[in-house]
Chain A
């Protein structure tokens, strides 16, 4: 078996008496979309935060490209190759769409300590940013103020910023949330192709999207992975239906 791009081992995280992560071991293999599903409050975002470095696990490890990054912060993990999108858009709302994408390009360049030439006139930064915006279909909006974008466009911009990083793994927390049927379908098609560039750990509520995209699915309930398997296996699992899909087995 090929080595996973990303792996967690026995991640545990408690908030007081609540075990938000209870021994989570998952991995992300090259070329795959690994979906994490589970009811609200199951601990999906908490897991993402631990993977991306915003939250220290109580115990357990996170490995990225074979390297233990458990002690590293968000920025270090990003530089090592994590490209993440947020459940709630985290964008510089006062800035233009292009500037947000250029921030990603700047992070990718690793050279923010430049004080003289305007960023917007840096051809390399600009090309990388515009290319990403083009790929997510925001090229026509790049001079807009980000605050003036629709909800769906902000989600697209989230993805575009992650693209500028050229990451080794994408971590996406509910990218379809609030997109509507047409937007979800578009993004589904986009992610389908994106997995060839880098594998995607996808937290998503939209079951149509998950079943259409996922190579593997892990089901998280009360901080535990109760099942991991292919779409068909998960669909067929009685335990999953009971615990999550809400059907009587």
Chain B
């Protein structure tokens, strides 16, 4: 049994160590796989705030992942075509700057999360799941029909976007950027979970009427959690698109929403490092088994089943059982 804090640090340090080991062994592909773990972990860490603390079973988080991806794709597309993005009277220049793209991804995802949240939080349970799923499908089909940006075929970006002072084309440097963002977001999530806001949100998940009875609004708490959650997943989407130098409607697909949820459940719902552990297992299985059989998802399903049946706290819960009420 390991204290959760040490486990969190060990997982993050382990990712860094593996990447450095791959660098020393000149294995850029391994670094790319590790980058994928970090980015998917980040996307699921976003979902974990809504799902794990707020209890919001969103089957539409691919919306934010896709929005982040397309924020990157569209801005970079206009930059590489030297044609500004015309939005009615507004003319927005494209950009190849990662920080600007990240801000755009966060802003767009947060704005859409406000709208989706306002509409879906009027419901709960299975209706909430269905509404979020429906939004995901709307964005998916919209992206497919949006031929300016590649429609079904998606959109390729020739050169990875830039970050001041770094060579983002170097796999280890891009990995470093992603890992730094993940660490920052996990730090913020950790503080958030234990903050007054987190205390109230945590109670709003368990007994909304209690939260109301002390004079707070569970709906507002959950809405803000949903927005923060969507913004983080959106940021991950922008990074994922940059990793692949490609965006396509699959980033909006309900399968992706489902996968994000699988990552959270595998690792441990509401556990800080859970999404990263889930992403590591997912990418490892995909890489190791995916080469042997097309049906590697079956094995993922078996593991998920075992976790849900015998280890509700996920892998993190097995290693480091949750303790109650500590700051």
Min CB–CB distance B313 → chain A (angstroms): 12
Question: Which B-chain residue is minimally distant from A162 (CB atoms)?
Answer: B213
Count chain B CB atoms within 10 A of each CB in A95, A144, A145 and give the residue with the most.
Answer: A95
Question: Which A-chain residue is minimally distant from B201 (CB atoms)?
Answer: A112
- Within 27-86 of A, Cβ neighbours of B (below 8 Å) are at 52, 54, 73-76, 78-79, 84, 86
Q: Is the CB of B195 within 8 A of A107?
A: no
Q: Is the CB of A115 within 8 A of B195?
A: yes
Q: Is the CB of A102 within 8 A of B199?
A: yes
Query: Does A235 have its Cβ within 8 Å of any Cβ on chain B?
Result: no
Q: Is the CB of A112 within 8 A of B200?
A: yes
Q: Is the CB of B196 within 8 A of A112?
A: yes
List, in ascending order, chain A residues with CB within 8 A of B327's CB. 118-121
Q: Is the CB of A103 within 8 A of B206?
A: no
Cα A96 to Cα B202 with chains together (Å): 12
Q: Is the CB of B214 within 8 A of A165?
A: yes
Cα A47 to Cα B198 with chains together (Å): 33
Q: Is the CB of A106 within 8 A of B214?
A: yes
Q: Per-position contact with B for A123-137: 1 when CB-CB < 8 Å, else 0?
A: 001000000000000
**Contact for B210 among A103, A111, A114, CB less than 8 A:** A103
Residue positions of B touching A, CB distance < 8 A: 188, 191-192, 194-200, 202-203, 206-207, 209-217, 221, 224, 324-327
Q: Is the CB of A75 within 8 A of B215?
A: yes
Query: Does A104 have its Cβ within 8 Å of any Cβ on chain B?
Result: yes
Min CB–CB distance B186 → chain A (angstroms): 14
Q: Is the CB of B211 within 8 A of A103?
A: yes
List, in ascending order, chain B residues with CB within 8 A of A52's CB. 213
Return 21 A-B CB contacts under 8 Å, by A number.
A75-B211, A78-B212, A78-B213, A91-B207, A92-B203, A92-B207, A92-B210, A94-B202, A95-B202, A95-B203, A103-B199, A103-B210, A103-B214, A108-B215, A114-B196, A114-B197, A119-B196, A121-B327, A145-B325, A161-B214, A165-B214
Question: Which B-chain residue is minimally distant from A113 (CB atoms)?
Answer: B197
List, in ascending order, chain A residues with CB within 8 A of B325's CB. 95-99, 120, 143, 145
Count chain A CB atoms within 10 A of each CB in B191, B197, B203 and give the residue with the most.
Answer: B203
List, in ascending order, chain B residues with CB within 8 A of A117's CB. 191, 195-196
Size category, A interface: 35 or more
Knowing A112-B196, A115-B192, A119-B194, say if A95 contacts B206 (CB, 8 Å): yes
Min CB–CB distance B242 → chain A (angstroms): 28
Question: Interface majority SS on B: helix, strand, loop or mixed?
Answer: helix
List, in ascending order, chain B residues with CB within 8 A of A108's CB. 214-215
**Contact for A103 among B195, B203, B209, B324, CB less than 8 A:** B203
Q: Is the CB of A107 within 8 A of B216?
A: yes
Cα A35 to Cα B217 with chains together (Å): 30
Q: Is the CB of A92 within 8 A of B202?
A: yes
Cα A165 to Cα B203 with chains together (Å): 16
Knowing A75-B217, A79-B215, A122-B196, say if A145 contacts B210 (CB, 8 Å): no
A100-B203, A104-B214 given. 6 additional CB < 8 A pairs? A92-B207, A92-B210, A96-B325, A110-B215, A113-B224, A122-B196
Q: Is the CB of B214 within 8 A of A119?
A: no
**Contact for B213 among A90, A93, A98, A119, CB less than 8 A:** A90
Knowing A103-B210, A108-B215, A115-B192, say if A94 contacts B200 (CB, 8 Å): no
Min CB–CB distance B312 → chain A (angstroms): 12
List, in ascending order, chain A residues with CB within 8 A of B194's CB. 118-120
Q: Is the CB of A112 within 8 A of B221?
A: yes
Query: Does A116 have its Cβ within 8 Å of any Cβ on chain B?
Result: yes
Q: Is the CB of A90 within 8 A of B214?
A: no
